[in-house]
């Protein structure tokens, strides 16, 4: 493919110039074609600016000035140092590890039985070509999204999980993405296909070894067939100097259920966009979000729940704690289409400001085109409740401890729903440390 003459910024141009090494990296024609189509869109699209309504609170001008290459392979003699990011031995039987975007087989733990299919894209693309080709790139549309297009153009290592029909996996499947290098760009990709009646817990975990500056463009696609059930915990605890831009799409068939918890702690600038399509009758989803930011961090969460069929149900709560001069953004839209009668949907955004300089922008939205529905939404932004502080102080608790307890409890409500004890303990410790008010 011949590259077009570009008028984009330095960051995008530098990435496109390196695409040639990807163009023929496999002998799989459909994958090379998918990459090529995505690159064509990258050449046409431009970096979002604050003049665009969907990005008016998220200024990416600092990202546009960068020119970060893809990371080098991590030294194999240092792999043992990264085991601290694993779950406890009793909890994690399945694990796929990616370091700076590259799959690392030595740290991964793959089930050898046929009850679950998991691995890196290159290891599965020939043996499971039909199911992967019919799903990869089908939900995450890149025609009008620059960052999804970039991720798709640079697909090389991808975490693939395929759950066969009626298979139930008791232990969590840990998809671990570790950033170790400075001034690099990575493109994590996840593909989860849950066939009819299957059930599993997926942990999508982004961590960093240092407070480096780097860029992560992640994309995840989840397909749930009839009566499938997925619990999904997405944890973003990148370096506070990093940039993290993510797109996540879920497709739900009849009577399927998706329960998602999204935790955002890290990154200088982060953007999490999630679209959930309730495309089957009786499909249900429950999504919870918790953002904890401080300093100059900006965390932008955009969600879109699309009720397409009758008797669907959705529940959403998003919480944000902003300290220092941090800026939290929540834009949550729910659409009920004309034929989606008897839809039951509720959405709530609650935010807590710890300083006068912190800022929250919340915009819950409902678009209803059916008449037999039960839908509600709401948003609150405030500070710690003075009456609750007074109540605790009246029982001998100091004001600083009272504030710490109330702040911790605000965020802990979401973390409480994570049913993986070691992961839950890690997150609780982080919240406890970061909500200490002197």
Angle ∠(345,347,350) on CA atoms, nearest 5: 165
Per-residue pLDDT of the chain (438 residues; tens, 9 = 90+): 333 333 456 666 666 666 655 555 667 899 999 999 999 999 889 889 999 999 999 999 888 887 787 777 787 778 888 999 999 877 877 999 999 999 999 999 987 776 899 999 999 998 999 999 999 999 999 999 999 999 999 998 999 999 999 999 999 999 999 999 999 999 999 999 999 999 999 999 999 999 999 999 999 999 999 999 999 999 999 999 999 999 999 999 999 999 999 999 999 999 999 999 999 999 999 999 999 999 999 999 999 999 999 999 999 999 999 999 999 999 999 999 999 999 999 999 999 998 899 999 999 999 999 999 999 999 998 887 777 777 778 878 887 777 788 888 888 889 999 999 999 999 999 988 887 765
* Token couple for 12: 């995008």
10 Å Cβ neighbour count for 223? Answer: 23
Give, as one character, the DSSP assignment of residue 191.
E
* Alpha-carbon torsion, ordered 251, 254, 256, 259, to 10 deg: 50
Q: What is the pLDDT of residue 18?
A: 62
Q: What is the pLDDT of residue 5?
A: 34
Q: What is the pLDDT of residue 389?
A: 78
Q: What is the pLDDT of residue 24?
A: 53
Q: Could you write out the three-class secondary structure of 37-83? A: HHHHHHHHCCCCCCCCHHHCCCCCHHHHCCCCCECCCCCHHHHHHHH
Q: What is the pLDDT of residue 22?
A: 56
For residue range 89-98, list pLDDT tens digits in order: 778 779 999 9
For residue range 163-190, list pLDDT tens digits in order: 999 999 999 999 999 999 999 999 999 9
Residue 242 and residue 216 in contact, taking contact as beta carbons nearer than 8 Å: yes
Q: Please, is 389 exposed, middle or buried when counting C-beta atoms within 10 Å of its C-beta (0-12, 13-18, 19+)? A: middle
For residue range 413-432, list pLDDT tens digits in order: 899 999 999 999 999 999 88
What is the reported pTM?
A: 0.93
Contact residues for 49 (Cβ-Cβ < 8 A; gap 6+): 55, 59, 60, 61
Contact residues for 431 (Cβ-Cβ < 8 A; gap 6+): 292, 408, 411, 412, 415
């Amino acid at each position: 493919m011949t590259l077009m003459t570009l008028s984009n910024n330095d960051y995008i141009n530098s990435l496109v110039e390196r695409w040639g090494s990807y163009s023929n990296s496999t002998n799989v024609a459909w994958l090379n074609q998918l990459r090529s189509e995505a690159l064509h869109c990258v050449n046409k699209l431009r970096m979002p600016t604050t003049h665009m309504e969907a990005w008016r609170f998220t200024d990416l001008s600092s990202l546009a000035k960068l020119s970060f290459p893809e990371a080098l392979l991590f030294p194999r003699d240092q792999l043992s140092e990264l085991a601290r990011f694993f779950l406890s031995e009793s909890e994690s039987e399945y694990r796929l590890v990616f370091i700076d975007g590259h799959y690392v087989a030595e740290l991964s733990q793959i089930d050898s039985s046929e009850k679950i299919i998991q691995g890196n894209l290159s290891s599965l693309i020939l043996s499971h070509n039909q199911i992967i080709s019919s799903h990869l790139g089908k939900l995450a549309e890149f025609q009008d999204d620059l960052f999804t297009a970039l991720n798709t153009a640079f697909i090389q290592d991808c975490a693939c999980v395929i759950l066969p029909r009626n298979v139930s996996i008791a232990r969590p499947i840990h998809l671990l993405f570790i950033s170790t290098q400075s001034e690099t760009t990575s493109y994590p990709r996840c593909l989860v296909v849950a066939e009819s009646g299957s059930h599993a817990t997926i942990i999508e975990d982004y961590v960093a070894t240092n407070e480096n500056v780097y860029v992560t463009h992640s994309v995840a696609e989840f397909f749930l067939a009839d009566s499938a059930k997925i619990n999904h915990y997405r944890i973003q605890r990148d370096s506070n100097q990093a940039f993290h831009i993510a797109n996540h799409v879920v497709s739900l068939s009849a009577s399927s259920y998706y329960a998602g918890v999204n935790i955002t702690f890290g990154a200088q600038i982060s953007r999490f966009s999630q679209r959930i399509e309730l495309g089957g009758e009786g499909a249900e989803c429950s999504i919870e979000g918790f953002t904890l930011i401080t300093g100059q961090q900006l965390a932008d969460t955009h969600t879109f729940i699309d009720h397409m069929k009758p008797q669907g149900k959705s529940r959403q709560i998003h919480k944000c704690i902003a300290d220092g001069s941090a800026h939290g953004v929540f834009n949550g839209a729910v659409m009920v289409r004309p034929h989606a009668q008897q839809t039951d949907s509720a959405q709530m955004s609650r935010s807590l400001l710890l300083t006068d300089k912190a800022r929250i922008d919340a915009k819950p939205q409902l678009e209803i085109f059916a008449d037999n529905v039960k839908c509600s939404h709401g948003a609150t932004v405030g500070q710690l409740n003075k009456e609750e502080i007074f109540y605790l102080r009246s029982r001998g608790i100091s004001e600083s401890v009272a504030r710490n307890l109330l702040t911790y409890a605000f965020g802990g409500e979401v973390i409480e729903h994570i049913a993986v004890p070691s992961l839950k303990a890690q997150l609780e410790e982080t919240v406890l440390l970061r909500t200490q008010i002197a």
